[in-house]
Amino acid sequence: MSYGDPNNPYGQQPQKGNPYGQPQGQPQGPPQGQPGYGYPQAPQGVPPQGYGYPQQPGQPYGGYPQQGGYGVGPGQPGGPQLAHWGLRVASYLLDGLLIGIPYLLVFAIFLAPLDPGESPASGAVVAILVAVLYAIGMGFYQVYLEGKTGQTIGKKAVGIRTLREIDGQPIGFGLAFGRKLCHIVDGMACYIGYLWPLWDAKKQTFADKICSTLVIKG
């Protein structure tokens, strides 16, 4: 079969070594630097993004925030603000009153003798048991709330919360319970750990540093 042969239905002879009929010397696919079929073309001066997802300013790798799940570091403009020492003290006082006031009321009720001559010994035993059970139950409930939402009742009242430093998420019950135990370290050496947020850059107590937690506003 030759070029121009009436028996050749394609009207031209395919070039030797190119069985697909495409002229040799032309590159396959789209020109270099141009997106393939079905992909949007980036504007001039904007580098192409991977996997077809636009990159947000300040958020590398497909839009994930860069610093600890916040996007902007805690305490920096535009980021979550660290809770100052006064707010933390206020939340501790409120949480303490939630346990202390009912605790005292239980003692006042059960230790009040029905008869001026009656011994309060039996009432004291009941008062101690009820007060201890209440304190333990309320303490675990506060830990549960802080682990799940980042806020005890006192923290919620003053508008602060405890979060993981690495990703800004609630710390969970286990870490919240461990953080409470680590407050023992804060109480050593004249309670210096509780005062540490006054001059610390991240406003952390020793317990916060051990557990890698932050207390922020909101």
Residue 43 included in any domain: no
Q: What is the pLDDT of residue 218?
A: 80
Residue 178: inside a domain, yes or no?
Answer: yes
Please provide the distance, in angstroms rounded to a whole number, between the alpha carbons at the two ends of the chain. Answer: 83
Q: CB under 8 Å, gap of 24 or more: what pairs does 76-79 form? A: none
Q: What is the pLDDT of residue 84?
A: 93
**pLDDT for 99:** 87
7, part of any domain: no
Query: Considering the domain boundaries, does residue 53 fall inside one?
Result: no
The pLDDT, as a whole number, for residue 182 is 95
What does each of the 218 residues of the chain score in pLDDT, given as a tens digit?
Answer: 545 555 555 555 555 555 555 555 555 555 555 555 555 555 555 555 544 444 454 444 333 344 444 555 565 666 689 999 999 999 999 999 998 888 788 777 776 654 555 555 666 777 788 888 988 999 999 999 999 999 999 999 999 999 999 999 999 999 999 999 999 999 998 999 999 999 999 999 999 999 999 999 98
Give me the pLDDT at residue 116, please. Answer: 57
* Token pair listed for 36: 């393939």
> Residue 55 falls within a domain, yes or no?
no
Helix (H, G, I), strand (E, B) or coil at 216: strand
Residue span of the structural domain in which 106 resides: 85-217
Model pLDDT, residue 126:
75
Is residue 31 assigned to a domain? no
Q: Is 218 helix (H, G, I), strand (E, B) or coil?
A: coil
Domains in the chain: how many in total? 1
Report the Cα 112 to chain-centroid distance in Å. Answer: 48
**Predicted local confidence at residue 113, as pLDDT:** 54
Q: Is residue 19 part of a domain?
A: no
From CA 91, how far away is CA 152, in angstroms rounded?
A: 8
pTM: 0.61
How would you class 88 by CB atoms within 10 Å of its CB: exposed for 0-12, middle for 13-18, buried for 19 or more? buried
Q: State the pLDDT at residue 129.
A: 84
Q: 168-200: buried (b, 16+ CB within 10 Å) or exposed (e) per residue?
A: bebbeeebbbebbebbeebeeeeeebbebbeee
> Does the residue 71 lie in any domain?
no
